[in-house]
Each structure stands twice: as C-alpha cells, then as structure tokens.
Chain A
C-alpha cells in the first residue's frame, strides 16, 4: 500500500498515534473475477454507503468479532475490463480488502483488492504537504552540507497539524506550566475554546501562541464549560510541551 503515512518525529511521537482514530480516505483498484455491466457495478458499489458489518481478517491484531463501520462516501471512479477504481471515505478500522471482497460477492462475480492508496488520514491529505523519502533525504543533505534550512522547514510540518481536526482549548500563559507538569485543566486557565468540545472526547490544549501543550479528555461540553466559574474541565492525558518553557504561576496545594 502507498500514500498518506504521517510520521511524528521525536516529541511528536506521543501524539501522532492519535490520528489513527480519525477518518480515512482510500483509492483502490479492485479486480473482478467475471464480467459485469458498469451500471450494476456502480449500483453495487454505492450500496455499501452507510453502516457496514465487518469481521476482522484472520491475520489481524484485534479481536475477531463482527463490528460496525461507517462508509461516509464511496464512488466508482473508473472501470476498465475487470478492473474498477473506487474511492472510499470511511471510519478508521474499516478493512478495504474485506470491502473489495464483499463488493465481489454482492456483484456475483467475486473480486479482490489489487492496489490500495491512502489519500487521507484525518487532517493529513494527499496535497502539496505530502513528501517522498527522497525529498527528506535531499532536504537533510542540503541542510547538513550548506546550513540551508528552507527545505527542512518545507517538508516538516509543526506538530500542531496533527490536532487540526480536534476540538481545542486555548489556555492562559499562567496555566501552561501546570499542564506541562501533567495537571488537569481548570476553568480559570481557559482563554477560549471551540464549540465542538464534548464530554469524554479528546481535546487539544494549546497556548495562546498556538503551541500544542497536551492532549486531554474533556469532562464537560463547550456550553457547560462556558457557564462554569471554577472546577476541572479536562483531564490531561498526553503532554507534549516540556516543563519550564512558561513560568510556573502555580504552587502545590493551591486551588484552581
């Protein structure tokens, strides 16, 4: 398989795994085992839009019980002889190989996946930010030999891009170091938050400059938080920012 594989470097390793839980888009080539009319292929492919049931394949790392996955978009892009090209936007953990097999069953011809390319993982897409291994190698060579960092800056994205799809909370300078130490976030430390913050959902905790401090779990919705005067509103889970970047404006045992 080829395509979008976001890699977190050094400190970004801690949070890059989080994009596993985000929406995926693929383009795949399916080979049919018999002839089929374009109209019936189109009809069958589009039939898979919505909730589908899948049992993880024999060789998989998760429990093999039937699970529900949603196909948000599925589209027949091209058909040539017994090869069909399909674009799929789906929940994470949807098996494309299974989907190809099931399309074959439904069509009555049988089918299997021949090629797969991922075109999106949550916030990362197949656009001008997508780089090849060669691009990395060239950028590194240029930087190491002549000190020219322009290409390094171009091929590497800030860690904040990995939380672009998440609800966000921006916090005061005075609250940053406490979060960096792993403390939970309380209302008085918040400057602003996005309206899609939801109870028990992941939230990105950012400084006012836009730096990612940590990932946490929201304990209330944005509306509820907006109406609160005090109290913990997010449990800090993964800290990215080291301690000591922002001054400590807190003391042990101090409330808030």
Chain B
C-alpha cells in the first residue's frame, strides 16, 4: 500500500469505528511525499500525545472541568479540553 492508500484506509477505518461511512468523490489523483508529515498512527510518542485524544470514562464525583485539570497535570500539558460537560455526580 502506498502512503495515499494508507492515509485513506486510516480515515475510512476510524470513520467506520465511529459508526459512519465515507463516500468519496475523487477530483484528481495525487501522491503525497514521504518527506513531509506522517501517517497519524506513526507519530513520535510526544507528537502522539500532543495530537491525542483520550476517550475517558469520567468517574462520579469530580466535575468534567476538574477531571480535565487532573489529566493536564498528569501529562504536564499547558492545554487540554473536553468535548461536552457531564454533571459531577
């Protein structure tokens, strides 16, 4: 598989995992250079973290905000954010 096929099958895979499907319209055939960028699942570990999302099972008790603050601290990150508040209890 070349890089374009790998990139495409990665996107189709995560889309299918989420329960959706991509119907592609190809406008022009193109190659992608191995010299720039990287397949999303082959990032170096630090980049993997900085371009990462954690599907967290929020525990009962703390607010969504507090949980994000903990995760941020665990990784020593400057920024982190969540996708949609869940009430504390």
A interface, CB within 8 angstroms of B: 1-13, 16-20, 24, 92, 116, 118, 121-126, 129-133, 136-137, 140, 143, 149, 152-153, 155-162, 164-165, 168, 170, 172-173, 176, 187, 190-196, 206-212, 222, 225-226, 240, 245-247
Evaluate contact between A5 and B82: CB separation under 8 angstroms.
Answer: yes
Given A7-B83, A130-B56, A211-B37, 16 extra CB contacts under 8 A: A4-B56, A5-B58, A7-B53, A7-B54, A11-B79, A24-B84, A116-B86, A121-B83, A123-B14, A131-B54, A132-B57, A137-B74, A156-B49, A157-B54, A209-B32, A209-B37
B interface, CB within 8 angstroms of A: 3-4, 6-8, 10-11, 14-15, 17-20, 22-33, 36-41, 43, 45, 48-60, 64, 67-68, 70-71, 74-75, 77-84, 86-89
Interface of A is mostly: mixed
Known contacts A17-B83, A158-B40; A208/B30 CB under 8 A: yes
Evaluate contact between A158 and B27: CB separation under 8 angstroms.
Answer: no
Known contacts A137-B74, A165-B18; A192/B49 CB under 8 A: no
Evaluate contact between A133 and B84: CB separation under 8 angstroms.
Answer: no
* Chain A residues positioned under 8 Å from B15 (CB to CB): 164-165
Evaluate contact between A168 and B84: CB separation under 8 angstroms.
Answer: no
Evaluate contact between B23 and A6: CB separation under 8 angstroms.
Answer: no
Known contacts A195-B25, A210-B8; A160/B14 CB under 8 A: yes
Give complex CA distance A1, B20 in Å: 27
A-B residue pairs, 5 tightest by C-beta: A123-B18, A19-B83, A210-B7, A208-B32, A164-B18
* Chain B residues positioned under 8 Å from A222 (CB to CB): 25
Give min CB distance, B64 to chain A, whole Å.
Answer: 6
Evaluate contact between A211 and B38: CB separation under 8 angstroms.
Answer: yes
Evaluate contact between A5 and B67: CB separation under 8 angstroms.
Answer: yes
Interface of B is mostly: mixed
* Chain A residues positioned under 8 Å from B20 (CB to CB): 123, 164-165
Evaluate contact between A8 and B3: CB separation under 8 angstroms.
Answer: no
Residue of B nearest to A120 (CB): B19
Evaluate contact between B55 and A130: CB separation under 8 angstroms.
Answer: yes
Sampled A-B contacts (12; CB under 8 Å): A5-B67, A7-B53, A8-B53, A9-B79, A11-B50, A159-B52, A160-B11, A161-B14, A192-B26, A210-B10, A210-B11, A210-B40
Give min CB distance, A100 to chain B, whole Å.
Answer: 13
Evaluate contact between A209 and B50: CB separation under 8 angstroms.
Answer: no
Give complex CA distance A210, B39 in Å: 7
Give min CB distance, A131 to chain B, whole Å.
Answer: 6
Contact of B48 among A4, A133, A152, A207 (CB under 8 A): A152
Evaluate contact between B36 and A246: CB separation under 8 angstroms.
Answer: yes
Give min CB distance, B48 to chain A, whole Å.
Answer: 6
* Chain A residues positioned under 8 Å from B30 (CB to CB): 172-173, 191, 208
Evaluate contact between A122 and B18: CB separation under 8 angstroms.
Answer: yes
Contact of B37 among A10, A122, A207 (CB under 8 A): A207
Evaluate contact between B54 and A209: CB separation under 8 angstroms.
Answer: no
Known contacts A118-B86, A149-B45; A191/B28 CB under 8 A: yes
